[in-house]
Amino acid sequence: MTRFMDVHHGMQGITAQQLQQGHDAAAAVEQEEGVHFAHAWADPESGTVYCLSEGPSAEAVRRAHERGGGGAPDEIHAVPLAV
């Protein structure tokens, strides 16, 4: 499994409750796509949301987001190295 960081833009004013709802919605379909959404972070002022996941491909991460109702991320980056 590869680790991915995806980025959503244009979410100014997002609340903690909305972030949790989006995370939960994506998590509801993660098993079907073979993806696990580990964490999500947001900056309500800039409108940027970051999601850390593991999955078989960037396309699987994109599908899980779309199927979960959160919309496709604007960027998906593989992050194969960590310390």
How far is 49 from 23, CA to CA, in rounded Å? 11
pTM higher than 0.75: yes
Q: Write out the chain's pLDDT in tens, 83 residues.
A: 999 999 999 999 999 999 999 889 988 899 999 999 999 999 999 999 999 999 999 999 999 999 988 789 999 999 999 89
Helices (H), 1-83: 16-33, 58-67
SS3 content of the chain, % helix, strand, coil (to 5): 35, 35, 35
